[in-house]
Chain A
Amino acid sequence: MTHPSPQLSEVEHARARPTSDKWEYVLRLGDDALVSAQRLGEWIAAAPQLEEDVALGNIALDQLGQARALLAYAGEVEGAGRDEDALAYLRDEREFRNAQVFELPIGDFAFTMARMLVVSAYQVELYERLQGSTDETLAAVAAKAVKEVDYHRDHATQWTLRLGDGTEDSHQRMQQGLDDVWPYVLELFEPDEVTERLVAAGVAVDPAVLAEPALAYVSQVVVAATLTIPETAVRHSGGRRGIHTERFGYLLAEMQHIARSHPGATW
């Protein structure tokens, strides 16, 4: 699955060709949420405390709910008869449009919190503005999601403050988490032709305008936690074009293998 034959991959690419800007855009937001949910689910029964298992499970379910609404809508926009399950379980790596930051392995708890701080700060700014979209479905999804991601941001904030301003070990790990996530942060705010056309139509939010408020929030938390914003020239990107990190294939294998082994199975 992760290494398709050349013939297969051309078929896949043909299928992956976006049918419209809106389809592409909705898929991006939906894939962000889906992959985020899948990664957070890995913490169930592995978090430092039972209470944190439940908290991360709740956040994962919020993200999954957003993913379902968005992917169902993407299928509708596409009009090819693919539902949310077909989009989640039957696409291959190159057809996924999530930013790479979402697919990075969960690492230690501090890394997961560093990532959650950044992506939820991004999602709060995104969904706040997307409520004003001319697309009624997107506006409705955003109105529901904004309250959820606000809580995710608060959760990550609380932990960043405690770990950063905690023991020497927790401070060091939290800083390492930020350092590790930072090269993947700017991809979230990259505009391209798709978003430019959709912003002009009033459908999408320009990712570039989210950078200032989202990063300002992150900085304020990082400073209060006695941590420092990493300085790095390294910058990874490509998720929006279907280019992903090596570990993403493993994530998809785990997420998709039941649905692919037993097509149409229900319980």
Chain B
Amino acid sequence: MVSTSSTSGGGTTSGGEPRDLNAEGGHGAVPMSGVPTEGSPAQAARREWPLWEVFVRAKRGLSHVHAGSLHAPDATMAVRNARDLYTRRQEGVSIWVVPAAQITASSPDEKDAFFDPAGDKVYRHPTFYNVPEGVKHL
């Protein structure tokens, strides 16, 4: 059995040092501080399966988009679980799975330094062009 722990905690330690940021910890959408990560022994046994991030391509020509995450014992089973969890309603034609622990993400603490400098550079948007009539899909 794979013994990789599912590091869904991420975030920061009590000392405030960024550590082991993964997909979930990185974007800060799932606040994990104060959430107990140690369950009962039975729950702990069930948590042996590592976490996988799932990317689904809706149709040819589009890129794979993050759909969610799941637990699976290995990559092969992760693809199958993803098929059952995320393509039940014909959402996709292709699936990628990535071990969540393998994703390096930006830290919420670095948000200002990372993203704010782009805020006043509107000239980077192609909004100063006239779009000829009849051009679709822009």
Contact = CB atoms under 8 A, between A and B. Distances in A.
A51 B1 contact: no
A49 B80 contact: no
Contact of B46 (A49, A55, A154): A49
Nearest to B52: A51
Contacts of B77: 158, 162
B98 interface: no
A257 to B, nearest CB: 29
Interface residues of B, number: 15
A48 B88 CA distance: 21
A51 B76 contact: no
B58 to A, nearest CB: 20
A73 to B, nearest CB: 26
A51 B88 contact: no
A155 B81 CA distance: 10
A166 interface: yes
Interface string B71-82: 111101100110
B80 A48 contact: no
A232 interface: no
A49 B71 contact: yes
A51 B70 contact: yes
A166 B1 contact: yes
A89 B113 CA distance: 65
B8 to A, nearest CB: 14
Contacts of A20: none
Nearest to A155: B80
Contacts of A51: 70-72, 81, 84-85
Interface residues of A, number: 14
Contacts of A154: 80
A7 interface: no
A124 B70 CA distance: 29
A266 interface: no
A44 to B, nearest CB: 13
B49 interface: yes
A251 B15 CA distance: 57
A158 B80 contact: yes
A154 B84 CA distance: 13
Nearest to B47: A49
Contact of A49 (B1, B49, B74, B76): B49
Looking at B1, B71, B77, the one whose CB has the most chain A CB atoms below 10 A away is B77
Nearest to A170: B1
Contacts of B73: 162
Nearest to B72: A51
Given A58-B88, A166-B1, A158 B71 contact: no
Nearest to B78: A51
Given A48-B46, A158-B76, A162-B73, A55 B1 contact: no
A167 interface: yes
Contacts of A55: 80-81, 84
A208 interface: no
A54 B49 contact: no
Nearest to A48: B46
Interface of A: 48-52, 54-55, 58, 154-155, 158, 162, 166-167
Return the 10 tightest CB-CB contacts between A and B, nearest first. Answer: A51-B81, A55-B84, A54-B84, A58-B84, A51-B70, A54-B85, A51-B71, A49-B71, A158-B77, A51-B72
28 contacts: A48-B46, A49-B46, A49-B71, A50-B71, A51-B70, A51-B71, A51-B72, A51-B84, A51-B85, A52-B81, A54-B81, A54-B84, A54-B85, A55-B80, A55-B81, A55-B84, A58-B84, A58-B88, A154-B80, A155-B80, A158-B76, A158-B77, A158-B80, A162-B73, A162-B74, A162-B77, A166-B1, A167-B1
